[in-house]
């Protein structure tokens, strides 16, 4: 009976598209997060085939404190009369827990089958669509369907290994060692695919807006029965949804597995590897966006000072925005707007010109920069002031709000000791 139930579950999950599974899984996860850990271990979704038993009307003795589900039978609080009463229930609880661990393992397999089914659809009906292939240029095709073929191939090999493990022992199979083993392959395709996602989305939006033939072809495929009226975009984001969902499933296995066991060690290893793939993808996306912003900025700047090569693989955007520079303490109107571009290694100070262009008047490495907070009002007319101290000069700057000033100070590294600017008026350089 158990074999029939789980076999039916595999077939059912494999038949549905991953988009449908993902939506249902998210709803269950939201409900699960709102409950206690113990309840989340024991609960079943509303559609569970196992109805809850009727509660007894007779009150029961209070249940002892549970430190961990797998330590119940060894907890010292059971060395009393109540333990004799609760011992059968503890064994039932552990059996239920074991069932739910098995259920999560099966969800890894069944959801992977659903995922592969959706990948098959997008590859066979969109990527390999002859009219679309003839319509799209090589660059658009690569940006739109980047590495989907490789993602599908690796996912099918992964699913084959999972199914072989299930067939070997349907009641005691494990999956985390297989996941950990495949993480190296996952990394080779998921990191580039997720990094390319912004190009993919921009290409999709442009083609849908500017190419009427492309839009007509895509919409006709989406309306077919095999796609179940799901949009192409929902298929393109599948790899992102899958790698994050797989990590959550492994986390659930970690929570429900007895610590110190081989399965627990493999689950923790798999979880860390998946987390590193996601982190590497995020870092790669951040790097790509930084390079894009640097290329864009490089085309908009002129240097009044010594030229600084802007485009660098290691340079990261941190913060930018306008501030007011106070040019001279004696003249309250002697001020100008200065635009700051802060990166992880350099700060650029520019004058903003028409057409979105900038003239850089100074730049300084952030490790040579000191930022000093001024908490007083100079001559009772100015507020929200801070000073940038460089090796050869300094800038007294003002923001519109206190919160904006504090954000700039925080971004410009740790603020140094407070300086009394009213006592430093004679030392402040006048920068014209």
Phi, psi (degrees; rounded to nearest 5) at 358: -135, 145
**Alpha-carbon span 255 to 244, nearest angstrom:** 17
Residues 397 and 353 sit within 8 Å (Cβ to Cβ): no
From the list 388, 385, 389, 369, the residue with the least C-alpha distance to 377 is 385
Give the per-residue pLDDT at 423: 41
Copy the structure tokens of residue 344. 């992880």
In the predicted structure, residue 12 carries a pLDDT above the cut 90 = no
What tokens appear for 128 in the block? 């390999």
Give the start-to-end residue ranges of the domains of the chain. 2-290, 303-427
Read off φ and ψ for residue 398, nearest 5 degrees: -130, 140
- The answer to whether residue 88 scores a pLDDT higher than 60 is no
Q: Which residue pairs, CB below 8 angstroms and at least 24 apart, start in 66-72? A: 66/38, 68/259, 69/38, 69/41, 69/93, 69/94, 69/97, 69/256, 70/94, 70/97, 70/258, 70/259
* Residues 208-237: tens digit of each pLDDT: 999 999 999 999 999 999 998 899 999 999
Q: Say if residues 117 and 22 touch (Cβ distance below 8 Å).
A: no
Q: Is the pLDDT of residue 390 over 50?
A: yes
Find the mean pLDDT for residues 417-426: 41
Q: In which band, very low, low, confident or very high, does the pLDDT at 258 lie, cut at 50, 70 and 90? A: confident
Q: How many helices (H) and strands (E) does the chain have?
A: 14, 8
Asked if residue 147 has pLDDT above 80, the reply is: yes
Sheet holding 370-374, edge to edge: 301-303, 358-365, 346-352, 335-343, 317-326, 394-398, 385-389, 370-374
339-349 mean pLDDT:
93
Place of tokens 């000072």: 305
Q: Give mean pLDDT, residues 265-281.
A: 96
- DSSP-derived letter for residue 63 is P
Q: What is the share, in percent, of the chain residues with pLDDT greater than 70?
A: 70
Higher pLDDT, 83 or 61: 83
Q: Give the model's pLDDT for residue 21.
A: 64
Distance CA 21, CA 256 (A): 22
CB 63 within 8 A of CB 52: no
Q: Which of 98-107, 196-205, 330-339, 355-364 has the lowest mean pLDDT?
A: 330-339
Phi, psi of 418 (to 5 degrees): -65, 140
Length of the chain as a residue count: 432
- Whether the predicted pLDDT of 175 surpasses 60: yes
Give the pLDDT band (50/70/90) at residue 25: low
pLDDT confidence bin for 252, thresholds 50/70/90: very high
pLDDT at position 326: 86
Q: What is the mean pLDDT of the chain?
A: 78
| Percentage of the residues of the chain whose pLDDT score is greater than 90 | 45
Highest mean pLDDT among 100-104, 168-172, 198-202: 198-202
For the CA atoms of 122, 124, 125, 131, the dihedral, rounded to the nearest 10 degrees, stands at 120
- Please state, in angstroms and rounded to a whole number, the distance separating the CA atoms of residues 294 and 310: 6
Question: Residue 175: which of 162, 157, 188, 191 has the closest Cα?
Answer: 162
Domain 303-427 is found in CATH 2.30.29.30 = yes
228 torsion bin: left (phi>0), alpha (psi -120 to 50), beta (else): left
- Strand 358-365 and strand 301-303: the pairing is parallel
Q: Which two tokens stand for residue 373?
A: 């907070």
What 3-state class would DSSP assign to 244? helix
Average pLDDT for 36-64: 39
329 or 229: which leads in pLDDT: 229
Residue 30 has pLDDT above 60, yes or no: no
The structure tokens listed for 255 are 């929570």
Considering 37-46, 151-160, 312-321, 358-367, the range whose residues carry the highest mean pLDDT is: 151-160
Lowest mean per-residue pLDDT among 85-94, 99-108, 288-297: 85-94
Q: For 370-384, what is each residue's pLDDT tens digit?
A: 888 887 655 546 688
First-to-last alpha carbon distance for the chain, in angstroms, is 86
117-139 residue pLDDT tens: 999 999 999 999 999 999 999 99
Which of the four pLDDT bands, split at 50, 70 and 90, describes residue 427? very low
* Confidence tier at 116 by pLDDT (50, 70, 90): very high
Supply the DSSP string of 263-307, one letter for each residue: HHHHHHHHHHHHHHHHHHHHHHHHHHHHHHHHHHHHTTEEESSS-
Q: How far is CA 138 from the centre of its chain?
A: 29
Asked whether the predicted pLDDT for residue 419 surpasses 60, the reply is no
Classify 2-290 by CATH class.
mainly alpha
Contacts of 242 (CB under 8 A, 6+ apart): 18, 115, 155
pLDDT of residue 69: 45
> CA–CA distance from 132 to each of 135, 136, 230, 415 (Å)?
5, 6, 18, 56
Residue 77 binned pLDDT confidence (cut-offs 50, 70, 90): very low
Which residue has better confidence, 25 or 204? 204
Which tokens in the block code for residue 270?
């798999």
Under the banding of pLDDT at 50, 70 and 90, the label for residue 429 is very low
Name residues whose C-beta falls within 8 Å of residue 332's C-beta, 6 or more positions apart in sequence.
379, 381, 382
Give the span between the Cα atoms of 324 and 397, in whole angstroms: 5
Determine how many CB atoms are found less than 10 A away from the CB of residue 176. 25
Highest averaged pLDDT of the listed ranges 37-46, 169-178, 370-379: 169-178
Phi, psi dihedral angles at 211 (to 5 degrees): -115, 100
pLDDT on residue 247: 96
């Amino acid at each position: 009976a158990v074999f029939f139930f789980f076999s039916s579950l595999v077939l059912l999950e494999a038949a549905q598209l991953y988009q449908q599974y993902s939506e249902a899984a998210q709803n269950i996860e939201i409900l699960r997060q709102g409950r206690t850990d113990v309840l989340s271990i024991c609960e079943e979704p509303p559609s569970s085939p196992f109805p809850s038993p009727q509660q007894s009307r007779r009150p029961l003795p209070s249940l002892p404190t549970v430190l961990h589900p797998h330590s119940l039978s060894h907890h010292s609080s059971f060395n009393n009369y109540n333990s004799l009463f609760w011992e059968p229930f503890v064994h039932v609880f552990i059996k239920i827990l074991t069932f739910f661990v098995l259920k999560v393992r099966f969800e890894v397999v069944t959801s992977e089958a659903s995922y592969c089914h959706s990948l098959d659809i997008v590859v066979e009906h969109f990527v390999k669509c002859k009219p679309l292939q003839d319509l799209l240029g090589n660059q658009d095709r690569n940006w739109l369907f980047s590495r989907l073929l490789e993602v599908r191939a690796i996912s099918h090999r992964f699913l084959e290994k999972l199914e072989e493990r299930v067939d070997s022992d349907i009641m005691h199979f494990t999956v985390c060692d297989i996941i950990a083993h495949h993480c190296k392959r996952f990394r080779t395709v998921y990191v580039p695919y997720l990094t390319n996602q912004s190009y993919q989305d921009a290409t999709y939006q442009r083609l849908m807006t500017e190419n009427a033939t492309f839009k007509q072809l895509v919409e006709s495929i989406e309306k077919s029965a095999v796609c179940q009226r799901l949009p192409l975009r929902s298929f393109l984001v599948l790899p992102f949804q899958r790698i994050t969902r797989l990590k959550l499933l492994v986390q659930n296995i970690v929570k429900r597995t007895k610590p110190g066991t081989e399965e627990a060690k493999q689950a923790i290893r798999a979880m860390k590897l998946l987390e590193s793939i996601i982190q590497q993808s995020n870092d790669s996306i951040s790097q790509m966006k930084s390079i894009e912003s640097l290329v864009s900025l490089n085309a908009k700047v002129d240097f009044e000072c010594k030229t600084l090569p802007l485009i660098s693989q290691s340079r990261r955007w941190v913060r930018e925005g306008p501030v007011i520079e106070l040019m001279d303490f004696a003249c309250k109107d002697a001020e100008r707007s200065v635009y700051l571009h802060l990166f992880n290694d350099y700060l650029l100070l520019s004058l903003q010109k028409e057409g979105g262009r900038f003239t850089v008047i100074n730049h300084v490495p952030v490790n040579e920069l000191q930022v000093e907070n001024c908490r007083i009002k100079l001559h009772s007319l100015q507020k929200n002031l801070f000073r940038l101290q460089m090796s050869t000069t300094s800038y007294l700057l003002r923001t519109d709000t206190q919160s904006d000033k504090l954000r700039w100070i925080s971004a410009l590294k740790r603020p140094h000791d407070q300086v009394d600017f009213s006592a430093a008026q004679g030392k402040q350089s006048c920068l014209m």
